[in-house]
Chain A
Amino acid sequence: MAKKITIDPVTRIEGHLRIDCEVDNGKVTNAWSSGQMWRGIEVILKGRDPRDAWAYTQRICGVCTTVHAIASVRAVEDALDLEIPVNAQLIRNLIIAGHGIHDHIVHFYQLCALDWVDIVSATKADARSASALGQKLSGWRRNGYQEIKAVQDRLKKFISSGQLGIFASGYWGHPAMKLSPEVNLLAATHYLQALEYQRKINQVVAILGSKTPHVQTLAVGGVTNAINPDSPSTLTIEKLFNVKTLIDEVGDFIKQAMLTDVAAIGANYADWTTYGAGVLNYLSVPDMPMDSKGTEYQLAGGYIPNGDISQFAPIASQTDPVLYDNIKESIKHAWYDGDWDRSPYDGETEPNYTGYDYEDKYSWVKSPTFRGEPAQVGPLPHVVAMYLAGHAGTKEYVDSTLATVSSLAGTTVGIEALHSTIGRIAARVIRCAVLYDTMSVSWQALIDNIGKGEMDTFNAPVFPSGEQRGVGFHEAPRGMLSHWIVIENGKIKNYQAVVPSTWNAGPRNGQDALGPYEASLVGNPIADAELPLEVLRTVHSFDPCLACAIHLVDNKRTPIGKVKVL
């Protein structure tokens, strides 16, 4: 008999997410994804200066910090048809990539790994064998016995203290945990090392962005980082070389430790290449612009309908009309008044919480569609698009990762394995390596530009009277992000963010088609309905970000009275 299980809260994600599943005969047969928090940031933006929007939208999310700031300034620049200096593009690229690398590292190790890695089992490992295994798998220099033993001792001490804290409610010893104690220990060692490397790459973001989370050097028209090699108060040569040094330090960890770890987990959990595919319409946009107009990009994007790679349609630029014309949002199953599909420009939303109803409305998240259908966004769609577009780095990392998995698993694993829970995780790690490569390119281009005497970082925006509309796209760590703005007489008239986690976490759409989280859960095995680790594996593979997923737009100001403070 089918049994309904509710996981609320889903943890190790950003924000407040509830997942409901129907389980029958050890398999998920139906699923519902529900966002549980709403703030209304777009309502707050109305009437404000478009030059201020990024500072507010960045606060949509502190995990995806920077991405909502980037998309916002791009939206206003698109509305004004404003080019920005190449130096500003390159500094933004470095900030975007640095943030993306941090985000991917933290997701893989700190947020998602505990679904696959049994920390308690790691204390039973033979540290020498774990070290030998690590050295066999890759050239990573920090797989030595001493370091691994120190990590194991630390874990043992922590566990013997009895104060397990956030680890007390883990899934240790769960029947779905399959790694050997030695692999667990190796992964736990990299879990702690990862904290160091994400911190290093964040230092790049802090040097260029002033701080993180929530950078402050963006402006509509460019960046606030002044360049003047003859002044002590600007982006000095010393700072630029600090950036370069930090980038280099992180590269080895990504390429040698992280790519190897994901291959090892993939090989040990090969069955998870057959679960979790879900929605196979893949959507991504090009990013890392290298010119002032945004016509040349380091990274490609495109649309793949129904997983059919022969129908791959590249998207040439972030201003491709195919994007503007085909994105809609539905509110049929979300807690807002009404039932419609509309372009974000014309979106209108009034919150109307009616309680959780599986058949009707059950989430604060809306359901975006592309060409009338749900689409999956994120590193997986992006990596597949870059692969099909012939991006050399992507091809290299995909092929080498699949080769490692194949050799460890003793069977040939092809690219089709990426359409899965584990494939989604692997794609994120591959994208992390690709982002790393872009940083060297952007950094060198910036240095070359400065060498040529180009110092510009800002073009002042001018707001004409009347109405302007613009969209800012960004291929963010969790996938395609777009901010839609309508400006009237220099003020924000309407604003909406269509966010990666909205695409993926959305409830059923206007035609009752399941959203990507929901569709990907159907068919997942469940060993123990009381401890639904398998559901978490698939949901975490998307790297949920619920603060992002739920925001609000309305173009008629919602009548909201002053709230009486308790």
Chain B
Amino acid sequence: MKSKVASSHDKQLGGVTRRDFVKFCTGVAASMGLPLTVAPKMAEAVTSPQRPPVIWLSGQECTGCVESLLRTHHPAIDSLIFDLISLEYSETLNAGAGHQAEHHRELSIEANKGKFILVVDGAIPVKDGGVYCQIAGKPVLDILNETAPHAAAVIAIGSCAAWGGVPAAEPNPTGATPVHEILKDKGIPVVNIPGCPPNPYNFLSTVIHFVTFNKLPALDDKMRPKFAYSRLIHENCERRPHFDAGRFAEEFGDEGHRKGYCLYKLGCKGPETYNNCSTLHFGDVATTGCWPVGTGAPCFGCSEAGVGFDSPLFSKARVSFPTPPAQAPEAVPEKGSGAKSFAYGVAGAAVGATAVALANTRGKDED
């Protein structure tokens, strides 16, 4: 039995072009660092018959991940929805409500079986049969289990969906569970885009990669795209030279803080958090430094399981490689003290290493 709407969807498969698509995905691809030689492949994707359908399910979320997409510029959310994808269902953005919206979701799944991208934000509560999050009288747990097998790809956006995030913080009162755990037994792989919320371009670039190349970007062992999560924040941090030289802010507003020194002693979790915040800043602002460390705020590891919403803000991070290699260039001290720099640099490195050695214990009660 096929509904009218479903068959009209089928018909459109051969009809609608995506001419504008390439224009926008060039910009997005640029943010992924893709070479320009991918242009022919992109052109191929453009001839694909319709904007790829996306169904967005919300579990225990705060809508921050959806909100983050309102802040993007390339593409902006209107380009995303009008020109790039076909957003079939989103509780936050649906024009219709109640059974009109639910009905449309069901039709869309039916019409796009095996073709749609399923995006999930929020954790999935499993305690007490999933009653802690229900949509249209049904636990979101059941809706996810019904929907995911029909998806071409599942993307878990945000730390809640990727590894549990805030609702799963101790003592995890509702049994908040990440999406990949729920779908593990079904053998359905899930791409994780952690962050609270993640940089929206990490999500958009993943979607664009999938619809352009018809495959997912390379993923790490935690199923995170390597283009975004393969480096520690610490590795590309603008304040890294201060860390290596042992120059630290000890308190917000002190002299070191007001000179832009390293925030390690204030609890910065950059040394144990894999993300691209230090290279891909936030907000598309012409001004640089729109990211936590750039505004004097320590990273608290919001995207890293076992760090964000686990370690206290002011506890010191575990540092994997505290000692700079022997050949590392000496950090440049402030202007005016160049002649004395050699001695200063060496002494600073020693201070840095000591601070790190002292800081290797951590826990909920540590200051």
Contacts and interface: CB of A to CB of B under 8 A. Distances in A.
B12 A161 contact: yes
A37 B16 contact: no
Contacts of B48: none
A495 to B, nearest CB: 13
Given A12-B94, A38-B132, A209 B67 contact: no
A558 interface: yes
Given A8-B98, A158-B82, A216 B292 contact: yes
B282 A211 contact: yes
Given A51-B314, A169-B103, A210-B294, A202 B87 contact: no
A12 B62 CA distance: 14
A458 B212 CA distance: 48
Contact of B70 (A36, A39, A106): A106
Contacts of A217: 292, 295-297
Contact of A167 (B95, B258, B367): B95
Interface string B72-97: 01001110011000111111111111
Contacts of B287: 207, 238-239, 242
B167 A234 contact: no
A108 interface: no
Nearest to A46: B171
B320 to A, nearest CB: 23
Contacts of B63: 14-15, 61-63, 547
B201 interface: no
Max chain B CB contacts within 10 Å: which of A165, A170, A457, A560? A165
Interface stretch (B38-46, B174-182, B337-345, B351-359): B174-182
A195 B258 contact: no
A16 B134 contact: yes
B264 to A, nearest CB: 14
B253 A456 contact: yes
Contact of A39 (B135, B170, B176): B176
Interface in B37-76: 50-51, 53, 58, 60-68, 70-71, 73, 76
Interface in A53-80: 55-56, 59-63, 65
Interface in B91-109: 91-98, 100-104
Contacts of B125: 39
Contacts of B314: 49, 51-52
A233 interface: yes
A44 B171 contact: yes
Contact of B68 (A16, A110, A213): A213
B258 A228 contact: yes
B282 A212 contact: yes
B287 to A, nearest CB: 5
A238 B294 CA distance: 14
B97 A536 contact: yes
Contacts of B166: 39, 41, 44, 56, 59
**Which of B125, B257, B298, B312 counts the most A-chain CB atoms under 10 A from its CB?**
B257
B120 interface: no
Given A165-B87, A166-B93, A566-B181, A36 B297 contact: no
Interface string A347-369: 00001010010000000000000
Interface in B178-205: 181-182, 185, 196-197
A232 to B, nearest CB: 7
Nearest to B263: A224
A4 interface: no
A11 B92 contact: yes
Contact of B65 (A62, A167, A208, A351): A62
Contacts of A48: 312, 364
Contacts of A114: 95
Contact of A206 (B103, B127, B170, B290): B290
A403 interface: no
A207 B283 contact: yes
B86 A56 contact: no
Contacts of A9: 91, 97-98, 101-102, 135-136
B173 interface: yes
A47 interface: yes
B309 interface: yes
Contact of A231 (B167, B174, B258, B312): B258
A40 B173 contact: yes
A47 B364 contact: yes
A195 B98 contact: no
Given A10-B97, A154-B82, A210-B294, A351 B71 contact: no
B126 A563 contact: yes
A211 B86 contact: no
A232 B284 CA distance: 19
A7 B97 contact: yes
A211 B291 CA distance: 6
A222 B295 CA distance: 13
A219 interface: yes
A206 B285 contact: yes
A166 B313 contact: no
Contacts of A558: 173
A43 B169 CA distance: 10
A169 B251 contact: no
Interface string B312-342: 1110000000000000000000000000000
Contacts of A458: 251-253
A212 to B, nearest CB: 7
Interface string B110-126: 00000000000000011
A124 interface: no
B218 interface: no
B124 to A, nearest CB: 9
A234 B62 contact: no
B294 A12 contact: no
Contacts of A225: 295-296
A566 B139 CA distance: 15
Chain B CB within 10 Å, residue with most, of A14, A61, A168, A232: A168
B33 interface: no
Contacts of B132: 37-39, 351, 353
A316 B292 CA distance: 35
A62 B67 contact: yes
A547 B292 contact: no
Contact of B95 (A6, A169, A219): A169
Of B58, B286, B295, chain A has the most CB atoms within 10 Å of the CB of B295
B248 interface: no
B78 A192 contact: yes
Contact of A566 (B88, B100, B126): B126
A520 interface: no
Contacts of B53: 163, 165
Given A161-B16, A165-B86, A566-B182, A62 B62 contact: yes
B177 A566 contact: yes
Interface in A224-250: 224-228, 231-235, 238-239, 242
6 contacts: A44-B166, A210-B290, A213-B67, A214-B64, A224-B298, A351-B132
Given A213-B68, A233-B294, 17 more contacts: A7-B97, A9-B102, A12-B94, A15-B63, A39-B166, A44-B170, A55-B300, A56-B169, A161-B16, A165-B81, A168-B104, A171-B95, A210-B291, A210-B294, A226-B260, A233-B239, A560-B173
The 7 closest A-B pairs by CB, nearest first: A62-B64, A233-B260, A169-B96, A206-B283, A170-B95, A563-B175, A40-B173
